[in-house]
Structure 1
């Protein structure tokens, strides 16, 4: 892929960062594989030929490579020349998580809480409103969960729905949220995919169908029911739970969400909805990258599919909207994990 096909791509920035770290191509490849391994990222080869191609503009790095580079060089995608910054992204980056001073041991918990608060503020569309806003309350619960894991915090459980379109980054963000809170993490596809595929076949359909009435009316309701019932099993024993699923129809349905809130309130459970917003090009890139059979129809009918999405808006029931355009929020989540490891090691 040529440089001219990626507006704002400046491949030479990668070489500048590598040389500033005093790394050869071979050494950078080794460090890149190590960074990827710590975070479960796939960077096939990562040899000097691949890195040379990235630095000279003949190969545009895929999503996992870009995340690994950001971790390796402790920089953002715009700083590494992968793309132009989003509006406000430079301003948000004024507080650089990797530059937080290593605190003394008694202050480690407070430093970790500060890192988490900054990360949530940076990735949120419009920032976090002060006071008792839904965004501030959810962020406080996340920080509270961190403190609870270290001897403090409230025992009241919370149910968090993390929704978004295919390829938006919702699963990665939900996993990040679970990492820092210790809350149970349930992904719809991991929990129900094999059952869904078998049920579609038994009904005479395509196991990878996610768009016809057969799936939408006969199978999808059961899929979400399984997900929600599993969440209730956790919540009934006091375990806070994060659910990762599109939740497109559910979060648009104010009556559905009101019933959920009422059910949670009756059982002493908090509930919050997070919407992960992403741009169409980045979603397509990730969908192509993961190569899942259930995405074949989307890719074959991309314009029809994308025309049916409202990528620039959030459902009315959303408490917090995460700005993951061009993968910005997931990149920051990776760096937040690294910062927490440094603070608490």
Structure 2
């Protein structure tokens, strides 16, 4: 099977990590979480400019300077795996790139992904459930989201992934337990060694 790059998108606390790790385990993909890869240097860069290490939402230094570095790092690591023939799950919101219709075409050209199958899996969740899950995880970086909840939700609703030249699939992750059969059917990979 040609290597696949799954762009796992969705709001914070939608369950992307749970879904991504499940896919990686069942299909033997490499799982790459932007936060795990980048959080330490992101925090230090923010602190070096006098910000809290958790101050991202509404911070132009983060969005203009640090965020592009995070995504470049994530994609560089993904590319190394893809060039070795290893499929990857990219766990990151990618919200700042949704409006660029040519984003996937540009990545294919930059990394020479003529042999790579890109796929978007958008993890959706009911907003009331999203808020409860976010409260349960208790991260400092979510404080802005709670303080501006209506704006946060409206921002999610307003941002649609406009990427062209890629298959975009949706998975509703509102139930407490992940429905593995439904996830398998949503992905519908052929010629896989294992199935969910």
Is 1:246 aligned to 2:93, yes or no?
A: yes
Find the aligned partners of 2:138 and 2:10 in 1 and give their Cα distance.
18
Find the aligned partners of 1:264 and 1:276 in 2 and give their Cα distance.
26
**TM-score when normalising by structure 1:** 0.48
Is 1:219 aligned to 2:99, yes or no?
A: no
Which of 306, 316, 323 lines up with 2:162 in the alignment? 316
Is 1:304 aligned to 2:155, yes or no?
A: no
Find the aligned partners of 1:256 and 1:335 in 2 and give their Cα distance.
28
Find the aligned partners of 2:75 and 2:98 in 1 and give their Cα distance.
14
- For residue 198 of structure 1, report the CA deviation from its aligned partner: 0.7
In the other structure, the counterpart of 2:129 is: 282
In the other structure, the counterpart of 1:159 is: 5
Counting helix residues as a fraction of each chain, which structure ranks higher? 1
- For residue 298 of structure 1, report the CA deviation from its aligned partner: 0.9
User: Partner of 2:98: helix, strand, or coil?
Assistant: helix
Is 1:259 aligned to 2:119, yes or no?
A: no
Find the aligned partners of 1:283 and 1:200 in 2 and give their Cα distance.
27
In the other structure, the counterpart of 2:37 is: 191
In the other structure, the counterpart of 1:209 is: 55
Q: After superposition, where does 1:319-338 map in structure 2 within 5 Å?
A: 319-324=168-173, 326-327=174-175, 330-333=177-180
Indicate the structure (1 or 2) with the bigger Cα radius of gyration.
1
Find the aligned partners of 1:285 and 1:321 in 2 and give their Cα distance.
21
In the other structure, the counterpart of 1:172 is: 18
Find the aligned partners of 2:104 and 2:183 in 1 and give their Cα distance.
31
Q: Is the 8 A contact 1:171 1:245 kept in 2?
A: no
Q: Is the 8 A contact 1:314 1:321 kept in 2?
A: no
Higher relative contact order (CA 8 A, sep 6+): 2
Which residues of structure 2 form unaligned runs of 5+? 185-194
User: Partner of 1:253: helix, strand, or coil?
Assistant: coil
Counting strand residues as a fraction of each chain, which structure ranks higher? 2
Q: Is the 8 A contact 1:159 1:241 kept in 2?
A: yes
Q: Is the 8 A contact 1:159 1:272 kept in 2?
A: yes
Find the aligned partners of 1:266 and 1:298 in 2 and give their Cα distance.
36
In the other structure, the counterpart of 1:26 is: none
**TM-score when normalising by structure 2:** 0.82
Which of 263, 271, 279 lines up with 2:118 in the alignment? 271
Matched residue count: 182
Which residues of structure 1 form unaligned runs of 5+? 1-153, 338-343
Q: Is the 8 A contact 1:158 1:270 kept in 2?
A: yes
Runs of 4+ in 1 over 3 A off after TM superposition: 261-267, 333-337
User: Partner of 1:331: helix, strand, or coil?
Assistant: coil
Q: Is the 8 A contact 2:16 2:123 kept in 1?
A: yes
- For residue 255 of structure 1, report the CA deviation from its aligned partner: 1.6
In the other structure, the counterpart of 2:190 is: none
Classify 1:265/1:273 alpha carbon distance in 2 versus 1 (closer, same or farther; 3 Å): farther
Find the aligned partners of 1:268 and 1:334 in 2 and give their Cα distance.
28
